[in-house]
Structure 1
Amino acid sequence: MGFFDKKHESDTPIGNLRAHIGTYMYFVKVGKSKFKHKGRIGEIFADMDNTQFLFNQATMGTMYDFKKKLDYALWDAAVHKYTEDMEALKAELLKVVDQEEAAPKEEAPKEEAPKEVEAVEVAPKEEETGDWKSSIKGQMAAAEEKAKKEAERKKREAEAEEGFEVDASEEMTEADCRELWRILQGLEREFQEMKSIADDWFTVHGKGNGCFGALAMMALIPVGAIYGICQML
């Protein structure tokens, strides 16, 4: 059971189907947000999000049987579209994994020689004939400047730690690959549930027709793909 609209969508097979579609699209939106800077992977997720209308139209029904009718042609178009998208995501993930395996392993860094202990600055002794007041003022100013620089350094480190999750690079890290695989597993799980419900529904009610509507929806798919790419620019 999908976790969207459980209370309102669980009374009918089409209601259950729409609940799983909601969960499926949740994973799509997470992927779109997470991987929007990751080149082809981000483009695929954006396209999946922008062609949700296929699912919506297939399960819309009519004004007399809202949420109680499933259009076979539109549903079939949606299944084919999203099957291709998920296969494309798997291919991109495998490509990244294969590249990582083929990459030469970095040698373990050699142990560095122990650094010499920096000499502690010791204020020069003022000669009896020197200006001791100017010397003390100079040391106080130097200590204040050192403390100021240390505070700035800590501030920069804190700001960097706060924004560590923001990754605008196209390079896929190990964490990115693990997250993509987790999302793909969620997509696959919901997709299989959706197909099972739809197959059972068509077994009972038949497939009917609706080819014209399917052709119209398929014609709009490239428009959704272009819109998704533009959204990433």
Structure 2
Amino acid sequence: MRLILPALALVVSLAACKPAPPPPRAEGVDPTFEGSELEKRTMAVEAALIANNPGLALRNDEELTILHRDKPVTTYRNDPKGCQRYFLTGVMKLRGRDGDLYPVAGVTCHFANSENTYLVLPNSDKYIVREEASASPDGRVLASGFDRADKSQGSLTLANWPHIRDVVIFPAHCTSMVWQDATHFTATCWHNEGPNSSNPYDSFANYFSARIEKDAAGKWQMQATGWIDRDTLKPKAVNKPLYHFTATPPPEPHFDKDT
């Protein structure tokens, strides 16, 4: 008995020192974002946008309300099972059906380690902005990119605002868009010449500087003006002709006869 008692005492002592298990993580909370410096910066950006655009948005704790001409359009509420956090992340000046320029709210839905961003229309509809977006100086054209290197490749979409279904697409993703006037701008772009058959998330892409403009016939043209290195974005020698693309309408959706 004298040998057993100390052993029991040791077991009891170790059990007493074992740390309590951590509390279960709240559903929908991303520990890499909640309370992080990124969250603080995001909230600071939203506060500045609200202050600089009176009558566009209101923050009330977990709710973000978007307005148009001082009237509520829609309210987004954080949802642990859906969009865990909503933020106002940008404002674009676009021209409405009445011909007037008005601010359009860009809202980002943050969930887990991903996010979606969209522009909120006056009727509460959403226009998805997958990557960088830029509006022409007259507010009549919205250019937005889609950066993917898989089989769908990257693209640049030009929408005639507010007729957002009236769009044309270039087979190249573009960033750093700088408008010279309402009908032409420059950008840094890449075109995917095809996915890597051994890795569908890799591609054979070439990067280039480009001039995008509307021609006399009203069609949008993209002319590469020089090859650039994908990492440094500095000029690069490539032994091939420079790209030229004409924007085309998106393909019609395909439906099987039985659907």
More strand by percentage: 2
TM-score, length-normalised on structure 1? 0.21
RCO higher in 1 or 2 (8 Å CA, sep ≥ 6)? 1
Larger Rg: 1
